């Protein structure tokens, strides 16, 4: 049985952290100019494998193999992407006597090909979606097959994954168009343009089963993960367990997942994905022969360290647990925090440098898996994920409450991010009730995500907070080395009357001050706002009549203009948050500007630099 001392692994710091806990010497491949990266700092040794483009670095198998030889690594943990499901990489490692911390090449090959995996699933008595099991030759054959199956159908790449090479067709014309686009996308993404067609299950849930198997014919299912909140067939919010499954359905799905794993002699952690309809019928979708991005929520409810188990299996040890030992303890939720603009197609990538970055680790039962830090660059070359934010609770309500608090306390500056969308999803009544499907986002936001819509009470709270923040700054400006400035005119320093503009409305506000509390009367309602009023902090915890709110001060200029984030959202881009009139001076709190596009100064595919003029607005 091998005794690992040197393990090489990809770029994600929490995986390195696992190796450190297991007392392995960790080596990581890096790209040019990434010496200050988090994973590099945590590793024992780092080896440059090329420049930033993935084809010249992390997908360059020769460069990775050379790094393995240079560091004399005895094992490789492939992480989530890049070469993690590449059978040729696993084969080359085996030929060099290096252990691949994952399944063998046969399982990777069998499950990586959607046509072959579906046939194997059928033979293993796993429920499969009705469809054509062969390779579709051309658009005419695609139309014929789609008519036989019955519309709607799903056209997807045989070697695909991650939502690439997938199209839904509702008629002949869409089938022809879908065949053309899917084959082109599959060829460019996977180097394989083969397609298959199957029945499209409308309005399903996406529920997956985590499996763990060893080299001694033992296999377990570690319960399910609900992954239905998606955009462009990519997951955004996940939770474990699912609100939808009853014990009988959970057991049936788990047993079928294990049957499939045993059918391909699988050994490692893997995930069998299913589509589940409204009647709890479930159908095999695909098997991912690697660790999933969302695996932490399974770790939370089972207490198992999946990476540790993968390494034990790779070393040849049998599993330490029986199926009866696998619990469901509590509830866990994961939000994928992306450098994306959620107001554009639920998330178009944003690049830039993290000018300020503060993870909400002070919130209890919060885990943040990230590979970045303040000053890191989000580049055009990689997935724009900033982190995985995970919260755990004794029940779902507690896990969601902690997630809301964690999102409110997550400080990210320098790039556009999707926290506003994540927060809206987890507090939406449909999500809270567990009424979700893969169509959740387009159903709930048919015109696209527009940000948080303030209720009447929330508007008053915003007016009260903005007023109090303004007055706290005014009072501070009247201090000189901790003492009040000498005024020529007698002023009432405890009571003020202000005029505030919010959207299209103008509100008369009266405010009084008593220590750290401001009493604000707006629309006949009096609200007491209390805080430490630390105007230098990016986070400000305020209490409004016993209700705690966290606001973020996003920016502040020399003129005193402040941009704030309230309830997870910067109140609509381009919209004036509020204008405060005091002593005939107006002070505007604004978010970023929005307008019509006047001119474009860049083209698709061009590389642009900081300070370049890209778009003019009018």
CB 267 within 8 A of CB 215: yes
CA distance 226 to 204: 11
Number of Cβ atoms within 10 Å of the Cβ of 80: 18
- If phi > 0 it is left, if psi is from -120 to 50 it is alpha, else beta; for residue 304 that is beta
CA angle centred on 194, ends 193 and 195, rounded to 5°: 115
CB 227 within 8 A of CB 294: yes
Per-residue DSSP letter, 153:
E
CA distance 498 to 464: 11
Distances from the Cα of 277 to the Cα of 148, 316, 521, angstroms: 21, 39, 51
CA distance 580 to 507: 10
- If phi > 0 it is left, if psi is from -120 to 50 it is alpha, else beta; for residue 346 that is left
Q: Which of 226, 286, 405, 424 is catalytic?
A: 286
The enclosing H or E element of 64 equals helix 61-71
DSSP notation for 194-253:
-EEEEE--SS-EEEEEEEEE-TTS-EEEEEEEEEEEEETTEEEEEEES-SS--HHHHHHH
- If phi > 0 it is left, if psi is from -120 to 50 it is alpha, else beta; for residue 524 that is left
Chain centre to alpha carbon of residue 440: 16
CB 576 within 8 A of CB 558: no
Is 286 among the residues known to form the active site? yes
Q: For 399-403, which contacts have Cβ atoms below 8 Å and span 24 or more sequence positions?
A: 399/239, 399/330, 399/331, 399/332, 399/333, 400/333, 400/426, 400/427, 400/432, 402/363, 402/364, 402/365, 402/366, 403/333, 403/335
CA angle centred on 5, ends 4 and 7, rounded to 5°: 80
CA distance 175 to 195: 12
Provide Rg for the chain, Cα atoms: 27
CA distance 540 to 351: 27
Known catalytic residues? 286
């Amino acid at each position: 049985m091998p005794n690992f001392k040197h393990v090489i692994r990809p770029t994600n710091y929490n995986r390195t952290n696992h190796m450190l806990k297991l007392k392995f010497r960790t080596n990581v491949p890096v790209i040019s100019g990434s010496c200050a990266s988090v994973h590099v700092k945590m590793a024992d040794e780092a080896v440059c494998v090329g420049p930033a483009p993935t084809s010249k670095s992390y997908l360059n198998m020769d460069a990775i193999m050379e790094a393995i030889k240079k560091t004399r690594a005895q094992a490789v943990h492939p992480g989530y992407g890049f070469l993690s499901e590449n059978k040729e990489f696993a084969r080359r490692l085996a030929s060099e006597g290096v252990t691949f911390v994952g399944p063998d090449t046969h399982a990777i090959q069998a499950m990586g090909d959607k046509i072959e995996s579906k046939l194997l699933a059928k033979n293993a008595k796993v429920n499969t979606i009705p469809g054509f099991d062969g390779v579709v030759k051309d658009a005419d054959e695609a139309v014929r097959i789609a008519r036989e199956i019955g519309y709607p159908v799903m056209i997807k790449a045989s070697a695909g994954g991650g939502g690439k090479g997938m199209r839904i067709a509702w008629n002949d014309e869409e089938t022809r168009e879908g065949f053309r686009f899917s084959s082109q996308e599959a060829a460019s993404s996977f180097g394989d343009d083969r397609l298959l067609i199957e029945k499209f299950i409308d309005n399903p849930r996406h529920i997956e089963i985590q499996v763990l198997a060893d080299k001694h014919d033992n296999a377990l299912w570690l319960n399910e993960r609900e992954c239905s909140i998606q955009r462009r067939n990519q997951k955004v919010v996940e939770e474990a367990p699912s609100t939808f499954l009853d014990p009988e359905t959970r057991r049936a799905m788990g047993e079928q997942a294990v049957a499939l794993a045993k059918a391909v002699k699988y050994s490692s952690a893997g995930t069998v994905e299913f589509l589940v309809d409204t009647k709890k019928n479930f159908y095999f979708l695909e098997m991912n022969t690697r660790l999933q991005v969302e695996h932490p929520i399974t770790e939370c409810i089972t207490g198992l360290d999946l990476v540790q188990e993968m390494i034990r299996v790779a070393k040849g040890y049998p599993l330490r647990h029986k199926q009866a030992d696998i619990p469901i303890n509590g509830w866990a939720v994961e939000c994928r925090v992306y450098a994306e603009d959620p107001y554009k197609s639920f998330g178009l990538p944003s690049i830039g440098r993290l000018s300020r970055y503060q993870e909400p680790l002070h919130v209890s039962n919060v885990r943040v898996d990230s590979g970045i830090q303040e000053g890191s660059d989000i580049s055009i070359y990689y997935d724009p994920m900033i982190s995985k934010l995970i919260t755990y609770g004794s029940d779902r309500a507690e896990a969601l409450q902690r997630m809301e608090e964690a999102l409110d306390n997550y400080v990210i500056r320098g790039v556009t991010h999707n926290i506003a969308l994540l927060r809206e999803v987890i507090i939406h009544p449909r999500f809270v009730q567990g009424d979700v499907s893969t169509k959740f986002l387009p159903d709930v936001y048919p015109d696209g995500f527009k940000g948080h819509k303030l209720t009447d009470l929330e508007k008053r709270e915003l007016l009260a907070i903005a007023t109090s923040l303004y007055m706290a700054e005014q009072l501070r400006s009247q201090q000189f080395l901790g003492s009040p400035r000498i005024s020529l005119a007698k002023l009432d320093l405890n009571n003020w009357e202000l005029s505030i503009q919010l959207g299209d409305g103008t509100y008369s506000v009266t405010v009084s001050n008593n220590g750290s509390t401001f009493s604000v009367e707006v629309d006949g309602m009096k609200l007491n706002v209390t805080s430490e009023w630390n105007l230098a902090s990016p986070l400000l915890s305020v209490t409004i009549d016993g209700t705690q709110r966290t606001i973020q001060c996003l920016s502040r200029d020399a003129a005193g203009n402040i941009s704030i984030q309230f309830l997870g959202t910067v109140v609509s881009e381009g919209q004036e948050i509020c204008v405060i009139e005091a002593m005939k001076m107006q002070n505007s709190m604004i978010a970023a500007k929005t307008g019509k596009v006047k001119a474009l100064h860049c083209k698709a595919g061009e590389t642009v630099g900081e300070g370049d003029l890209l778009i003019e607005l009018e």
